[in-house]
Amino acid sequence: MTSKSSIPKGTRDFGPEVMARRNYILDTIKQVFRLFGYQPIETPAMENLSTLLGKYGEEGDKLLFRILNSGDFLQNVDLSSVNGVSDLLPHITEKGLRYDLTVPFARFVVQNRNELPFPFRRYQIQPVWRADRPQKGRYREFYQCDADVVGSDSLLNEAELVQMVDMVFSRLGIKVVVKINNRKILAGLAAAIGQPERLTDITMAIDKLDKIGIEKVNEELAERGLPEQAIQALQPVLFTKGDAYAKLESLKKIIGHIEEGTKGIEEMTILLKYLANSKLSLQLEFDLTLARGLNYYTGAIFEVKALDAAIGSICGGGRYDNLTGVFGMPGMSGVGISFGADRIYDVMNELELFPATSADTTHVLFLNFGPDEEQYCLPKVSQLRQLGVNTEIYPSAEKLKKQMRYADQKNIPLVVMAGESEMAGNSFTLKDMKQGGQQTLPSASLAKAIHELLQAK
């Protein structure tokens, strides 16, 4: 019995079959990103805490994984003057694992501003970490696939992001609804009901409308300290009916007198117009209750949900006007989206949407009959590899049954056998594991036969 080993809560190992499927998702996303002119970058897994802290709200700060300083990290700490953990932390940790890809990207842009072509379009596919309590569809380590463009405030970017969402999910075969809204409209609403300061409280509460219902939302608004009349003033908005344009018309009546709200309505109108010309196959919904948690969003916001699976959002994003400002570079607007690869995987798994194509594996296995036969096979093995055929030779002369089983388990389609009789005839026996048939061929025509069989598959 070996000692019990395990991995940290909320993290996972990925075996070869799972990796094949994960790569299928990531490759699809990458292809679409490139198709729209986005270029890849990577940033370190860890950032200085000064980069991370304060960007995700109070809750986000709590969910940051902090990295203990190396060495004798207590050396210069005066423990008697420290009062509690929160007081001690800044003295013993100065780095943390990244929480998302957007903030590190903003840091990257500011640091490299002189080298980058603007508007700069980048994509980034890397893991992020959150010290959450894991549950269904929620992990402590997961991949985000981000595409952002900074240095352009054109709404064409927003429209293209929605097109990318459309393309990714139609290629993957997932039916989705894209919900869109605009933070400026929400800000206008907050102002219209006389509570411009309470934007975050309002949005966080109404974001849950379809989940907990209007009564609970109102309760929560009250708990968050909103006066009754403000809550009442909000009610008609929450139930604005009709298509997107009808909603915009109703909104004009409510927030038309507020400058920011009007701006939001204008932006939404333009975006809808772009999208009307984009031949989308996905379902688009202007959802006034969509708020999204991250508080750096300032314009359009998106969220994508799978229609046939209950797993929360699988993609989200929005515009942030001043993210680089906190790193000393004001006036740079950006907009981006993030695909949650792990949740997309879970959805596709649940709905059985993965194509049958199995893991990339060996095409041909040479069975091992002994020392002389090994030598006889080696040149042929090399030749096949040169020709681009994934080839293995079994490393030891085990019983054939065992070697065949290995080929079977790895789903290797072709097996080559060469024993005494083949060596005598300068030939090889090629077996098709699927069909079960086999034929003995002259050495010179083996490669061709293999090539033809693989083509046929």
Partner RNA sequence: GUGGCUGUAGCUCAGCUGGUUAGAGCAUCAGAUUGUGGUUCUGAGGGUCGUGGGUUCGAGUCCCAUUAGCCACCCCA
Give contact residues for RNA (rule: CB under 7 A). 1, 6, 8-10, 57, 59-60, 63, 100, 130, 132-140, 142, 144, 204, 207-208, 211-212, 292-294, 303, 312-316, 338, 340, 342-343, 369, 399-402, 404-405, 407-409, 417-422, 429, 431, 433-434, 436, 438
Q: Please, is 443 exposed, middle or buried when counting C-beta atoms within 10 Å of its C-beta (0-12, 13-18, 19+)?
A: middle
Return the structure tokens found at 350. Answer: 């649940």
In whole angstroms, how close is the CB of 421 to RNA at the nearest point? 4
Name every residue whose Cβ is closer than 8 Å to that of residue 406 and which is 6 or more positions away in sequence: 365, 394
| Closer residue to RNA (CB): 160 or 303 | 303
Burial of 61 (0-12, 13-18, 19+ CB in 10 A): middle
Minimum distance, C-beta of residue 69 to RNA, in the bound complex (Å): 21
Closer to RNA by Cβ: residue 222 or 400: 400
User: d(Cα 328, Cα 453) in Å, to the nearest integer?
Assistant: 61
Smallest separation (angstroms) from RNA to the CB of 137: 6
What span, in angstroms and rounded, lies between the C-alpha atoms of 135 and 10? 8
Minimum gap (Å) between residue 288 Cβ and RNA: 17
CB 287 within 8 A of CB 260: no
CA angle 56, 58, 60 (to 5 degrees): 45
* CB of 38 or CB of 369, closer to RNA: 369
Closest CA to 186 of 53, 292, 341: 292
Find out whether the peptide bond into 119 is cis, omega within 30 degrees of 0: yes
List phi, psi (to 5°) of 284.
-115, 135
Minimum CB distance to RNA smaller for 116 or for 359: 359
Residue 427 phi/psi, 5° resolution? -140, 175
How far apart are CB 83 and RNA at their closest, in Å?
Answer: 18
Identity of the residue, 150 or 306, whose beta carbon is nearer to RNA in the bound complex:
306
In the complex, least distance from residue 117 CB atom to RNA, rounded to whole angstroms: 27
Residues sharing a CB contact under 8 Å with residue 445, sequence separation 6 or more, in sequence order: none
To RNA, the closest distance from the beta carbon of 221 in angstroms equals 12
If you ran DSSP here, which 8-state letter would residue 266 be given?
A: H
Choose between 189 and 248: whose C-beta lies nearer to RNA. 189
- Provide the sign of the torsion angle of the four alpha carbons 249, 255, 257, 258, taken in this order: negative
Closest contact distance (angstroms) between CB of 138 and RNA is 4
Q: At what angle do helices 371-386 and 446-456 cross, to 10 degrees?
A: 60
For RNA, the closer of residues 250 and 429 by Cβ is: 429
Q: How far apart are CA 247 and CA 236, in angstroms?
A: 11
Least separation, in Å, of the C-beta of 346 and RNA?
A: 9
Rounded to 5 degrees, what are φ and ψ at 423?
Answer: -60, -40
Containing H/E element for 303?
strand 300-306
Residue 255 vs 367, nearer CB to RNA: 367
Nearer to RNA, 169 or 265 (CB): 169
Q: How far is the CB of 78 from RNA (least distance, A)?
A: 26
Which residue lies nearer to RNA by CB, 145 or 251? 145
Closest CA to 431 of 360, 366, 362: 366
Pairing state between β 120-129 and 93-97: unpaired
CA atoms within 13 A on the CB side of 235: 10
- Would you say 81 or 135 has its CB closer to RNA? 135
Shortest reach from residue 409's CB to RNA, in Å:
7
- What gap in Å lies between CA 255 and CA 105, rounded to an integer? 34
